[in-house]
Amino acid sequence: MILETVVYGDVTLLDLMRIVVILVIAIVIAKGLTLNIKRGLRDKIDKYHIEVITKVVYYGIIVIAVLAVLPILGIKLSGLLVAGGIAGIVLGIASQSVVGNLIAGLFLMIERPMKIGQSVNIAGIAGVVEDIRVISTTLRTFDGLYVRMPNEKVFTTNITNYVEHVARRFEYIVGIRYSDDADKAIGIIQNLNEEHPLTLKSPSSDIFVDNLGDNAVNIIVRLWAPSTEWYGVKKELLWKIKRALEDEGIEIAFPQRTVWFANELRKQELDRSEVSESGSE
């Protein structure tokens, strides 16, 4: 039969056809799988990373298929396996951190604790997420510095995402004098809150006398604002509160201490005796 025609060595035309069929099936599987991965991850991770993952999957399947057909061509894999095993150990040790970062990066892309453009604090470094790559994550600190963090570190540390929730609360402590009317002060601050467009109507604000301090009656002011706006609102409102209170005669208290002497000072005693002496003359 023509299919049993030897092409070279022990490889027949039938073997070549089997190789072609296996490779075609592998390509079809690889294409189908990458298409599904693209669809599945479309809304979860960005385009660049989808490309990387699909290429790894596609060529991984092709490589496995090629390895599968090599014995048909008469190439024994046992030798390759020994060499590959040694090379694998060497590469594995050498690329331990790289693989760790790669896997952490994949988990970060799936878990998505942050998105590009969000303000975050990772391991004490605060900034805006510039990019989340397969190996590393880059931040632009609020000072404008570029910080690259390995994904393994990002994945295993605490991440504070400042803007993941749509609203957040901030607070001030306003200390007024004991002689001032705290209810009036609370009313003034509440009015400012009502008038400011970017402090939220709901959740409602919380303004109350928190404690009677050493030098002031401390009013705590807790306000809610959209997460994207809270910092600007916080900067703006404190000075407005101070000015509004002062306009109504309420002053911000400053540390002071009244000292009472148990025994009068020697000088005062002398002054008094001088006065009494001059009076008797």
Partner 1 sequence: MLLVNGAHAFIVSTLCSNSNSAYKCNPSFAKVFIFRNTLEYLARGLMYGYYDIPFGLEESGVVSLSLEKDGENFIYQSVAAGVRVDKIVLARTGHVLINPIEPMHKPKELTSFLLVEFDKTLLVEPERAKKIFITYPIEIGVFISSGTVVEVLDIFTLARQKFTLYGDPRNGVICKYWSSNVYSSLPAVDPLCEGVIELSITNATKEWVKITKAIFNAYGMKMYYNDARVTMKATMKILHGKLAETDFVDAPVEQGMKKSMELYTAKKLTVTSTKFLMGWGL
Contact residues: partner 1, CB under 8 A: 165-168, 194, 197-203, 224, 226, 228-229
Whole-number minimum distance, CB 166 to partner 1, in Å? 5
> What is the nearest approach in angstroms of partner 1 to the Cβ of residue 192?
13
Least spacing, CB of residue 159 vs partner 1, in Å: 16
Give the nearest distance from C-beta 155 to partner 1 in angstroms: 22
Measured from the CB atom, is 32 or 203 closer to partner 1? 203
Count of other CB atoms within 10 angstroms of residue 219: 21
Nearer to partner 1, 85 or 203 (CB): 203
Nearer to partner 1, 177 or 196 (CB): 196
What does the longest C-alpha to C-alpha distance in the chain come to? Answer: 152
Distances 234 to 87, 120, 211 between C-alpha atoms, Å: 58, 18, 22
- With respect to partner 1, which residue has the nearer C-beta, 165 or 267? 165
Q: Which is nearer to partner 1, 68 or 244 (CB)?
A: 244
Q: How far is the CB of 42 from partner 1 (least distance, A)?
A: 16
Return the number of the residue (95 or 190) whose C-beta is nearest partner 1. Answer: 190
Q: How far is the CB of 23 from partner 1 (least distance, A)?
A: 43
The residues, any chain, with a CB within 8 Å of residue 162's CB and separated by 6 or more, are 118, 119, 120, 121, 168, 227
Polymer length of the chain: 281
90 class by beta-carbon count within 10 Å (0-12 exposed, 13-18 middle, 19+ buried): exposed
Is residue 213 within 8 A of residue 175, CB to CB? The reply is yes
Let me know: does 49 contact 114? Beta carbons within 8 Å: no
Among left, alpha and beta (phi > 0; psi -120 to 50; other), residue 249 is left
Comparison of 188 and 253: residue with beta carbon closer to partner 1: 188
The type of residue at 200 is L
Q: Which residue number, 99 or 198, has a Cβ lying nearer to partner 1?
A: 198
Closest approach, Cβ 200 to partner 1, in A, equals: 5
Distance CA 202, CA 189 (A): 16
Rounded Cα distance, 84 and 86, in Å = 6
Return the number of other C-beta atoms located less than 10 Å from residue 108's C-beta: 22
H/E element holding 279?
helix 266-280
CB of residue 167 vs partner 1: minimum separation in angstroms? 5
